[in-house]
A and B are shown apart, each in its own frame.
Chain A
């Protein structure tokens, strides 16, 4: 399928694939096994300008949009989904800043993100606020000299490794979600520490940690946009970032499909390569259809986001749900085709299957996103009634 990418988009995609194959592939099993943060790969990605892709040109970026970010994420995820999310989470960590930050704030933080000298992270989830994202408890009390942060953020991707955190906290706890604000917190700010590093089923090279704030004083100028808009800013951010999770799913599923085809070609049973058997062929064909359909939807949603359309909630939710469900199914089938070997850690598909599960959970569970899609269905019906 040809998605009519521009010359620059093709260049970005090709280079991301090259980095994935030449630099990530040789170390991916080791990174997974040791649950080691991929700093070496981050440096390679930085040197290749990959962190510039999603940053506007005036802040040393290349001015790409959602689609460009998806292309890189997809290619990295084809080899290692854990590396892909590490990369994409840095984008997530600075997208609120790009959208709502002042000129001064952008000048201060974005060039370092673009150069890959510093990673970003985004923090909304808390022990009490998962799907019920508005139920956050972390406070940012206005005091002399800035905001005083108290509370704990949970399951934060790039936690401990990132330097620049966008944190959603209550600047007015009497107003609930309407009292939430987005605030930049730099690593090493006194009162800001990290909880334990989580041990995960998959994407094990990526870092997932708690952020702990105890009387952490952040200067007033770190507030992003207006106070009280933090929750809305976060929801809008996810509307734009979800195609990226879809792209992560597409890449992961593509990698699993390729591994399954490779195995089916080599594996001989009943005196024939198993790829000659109709049962295997149909499984592979179904996987291929799922991957391509997911890719088409993800690219379409990403382009819709880049068009500047006002309400992209439904499209980006669809792309994320469909692609992540496809990735789960395709990776399970890839393990099935590879049989006993596929279950062993010597082969890559068991890792891919473990990596796939999170895609149905983070950045909105697929159930919550189906709710959002259904809400839009009802709204449309109401409008035409």
Chain B
């Protein structure tokens, strides 16, 4: 069972500051961590490997310092690591990110399952996993909370939906995103940490991937962040007076005016 886990390095804080000029996150001086949702994806990949054999390859797209996230993933049980890093990849939206990742997967070729976290804590879109599956023309299942059975070309999972869960079967290879209910990620091991210090991390750029620079990074992004801001919270309460019927009439009136009914 060869598994690829896609992960992202994110700022280890919820108090992010935005550069007003570029509308991007200010990353200086903030410790970077593996996106917490991705740690469940990695743990599930490592557990599947331990049970069924094979290997876990971790892959991330990011600046050279994203190397640290990959090394941490190796300390947690990943076998191989690939960093997609190139100036041309910078400024990518989810579409361009999914494109670049999918091209890397085409290059990796041999795998049975791709696992991603359900979303990142910085972008919060949850789009890269499904977009990537679409580009690879593969089945996709989101919010997986349990892998019930996995064998040659066959996968059955439990997935969380709003009012319960669904059990879905699919062929492999496939892409899944996992919910945090799926497992409790382990702590690193000493042997893992020692291995992570020496592991050779492959770095692939535009050239190695042989991709169209116009489809990657900012150039390949069909969306652009115009402005990022903290919403102003204005809360105003109004108590309606009168008899019960009068109050209901007033409320109905108000809702009608606001175009809510």
Query: Which A residues have a C-beta under 8 Å from some C-beta of B?
Result: 8, 11-12, 15, 18-19, 22-23, 44, 47-50, 52-53, 62
Contact = CB atoms under 8 A, between A and B. Distances in A.
25 contacts: A8-B194, A11-B190, A11-B193, A11-B194, A12-B190, A15-B188, A15-B190, A18-B187, A19-B187, A22-B187, A23-B187, A44-B187, A47-B186, A47-B187, A48-B187, A48-B188, A48-B189, A48-B190, A49-B189, A49-B190, A49-B191, A52-B190, A52-B191, A53-B190, A62-B190
Interface of B: 186-194
A52 B190 CA distance: 9
Nearest to B192: A49
B187 A50 contact: no
A23 B189 CA distance: 14
B187 A15 contact: yes
Contacts, number: 31
Nearest to A64: B190
A15 B191 contact: no
A12 B189 CA distance: 9
A49 B76 CA distance: 12
A11 B189 CA distance: 10
B192 to A, nearest CB: 8
Nearest to A11: B193
Nearest to A23: B187
B190 to A, nearest CB: 4
Nearest to A52: B190
A47 to B, nearest CB: 6
A53 to B, nearest CB: 7
Contacts of A49: 189-192
A383 B194 CA distance: 48
A62 B193 CA distance: 12
A49 B188 CA distance: 9
Nearest to A12: B190
Contacts of B194: 8, 11
A62 B186 CA distance: 20
Given A47-B187, A62-B191, 14 more contacts: A11-B190, A11-B193, A12-B190, A15-B188, A15-B190, A44-B187, A47-B186, A47-B189, A48-B187, A48-B189, A49-B191, A49-B192, A50-B190, A62-B190
Nearest to A16: B190
Contacts of A44: 187
A23 B185 CA distance: 12
Contacts of A8: 194
Contacts of A47: 186-187, 189
Contacts of B190: 11-12, 15, 48-50, 52-53, 62
B120 to A, nearest CB: 23
Closest 7 CB pairs of A and B: A49-B190, A49-B189, A48-B189, A49-B191, A48-B187, A11-B193, A47-B186
B43 to A, nearest CB: 12
A349 to B, nearest CB: 27
Contacts of B187: 15, 18-19, 22-23, 44, 47-48
A338 to B, nearest CB: 30
A15 B186 CA distance: 12
Nearest to B190: A49
B157 to A, nearest CB: 25
A44 B185 CA distance: 11
A67 B193 CA distance: 19
A23 B186 CA distance: 10
Nearest to A53: B190
B101 to A, nearest CB: 30
A12 B192 CA distance: 12
Contacts of A19: 187
Nearest to A72: B190
A12 B187 CA distance: 13
